[in-house]
Amino acid sequence: MGDTGQMSDYNVLIVEDSPTMRQLIAFALKRIRGVRIVEANDGVDGLKKLSSERFDLILTDINMPIMDGLKLVSLVRNDANYKAIPIVVITTEGAQEDRERALALGANDYITKPIQPTKILDVAKSLLRIA
């Protein structure tokens, strides 16, 4: 199984409707060796990408048009193929009930905006079990 450059160690899906935010998150995550980022701009797009490949981690914003992050979390958790994938939700500062709902639906952790790259890195590493 030679290294063809095809196999990345970690596939991470970022579901976020703001391109700027996606860039920021991707930039932080790229400090993890062997990480490959796939971006989706809403929950529907996220589900489509989930169905086409295997992911090790999902980061999703909560407030998005078409399908919000809470809906996405519940769909992922209710699907046998995906339910083991760790999910991090991104919430706005002070949106306590969003966080509680997300965790109740099965999210593993949350990050609040404004996003700190070090926080993203810490959360991602712990969920990907990288020391």
Query: What is the identity of the amino acid at 18?
Result: S
Residue 97: per-residue pLDDT: 92
Residue 93: per-residue pLDDT: 79
Higher pLDDT, 1 or 78: 78
Residue 8: per-residue pLDDT: 74
Measured CA to CA, the distance from residue 2 to residue 60 in angstroms comes to: 33
- The DSSP 8-state label assigned to residue 30 in this structure reads T
**Cβ–Cβ under 8 Å, residues 90 and 120:** no
Is the Cα torsion angle 99, 102, 103, 104 positive or negative in sign? positive
CATH number of 10-128: 3.40.50.2300
Nearest one of 29, 31, 20, 27 to 58, comparing CA atoms = 29
Q: What percentage of the chain has pLDDT greater than the value 70?
A: 94
What are the structural domain ranges in the chain?
10-128
- 121 pLDDT band, cuts 50/70/90, is very high
Find the mean pLDDT for residues 36-65. Answer: 95
Residue 92: per-residue pLDDT: 86
**Cβ–Cβ under 8 Å, residues 15 and 45:** yes
The model's pLDDT over 73-118, given as tens digits with 9 standing for 90+, comes to: 999 999 999 999 999 999 987 888 999 999 999 999 999 999 999 9
Find the mean pLDDT for residues 13-21. Answer: 96
Find the mean pLDDT for residues 19-25. Answer: 95
**Cβ–Cβ under 8 Å, residues 41 and 17:** yes
Find the mean pLDDT for residues 18-23. Answer: 95
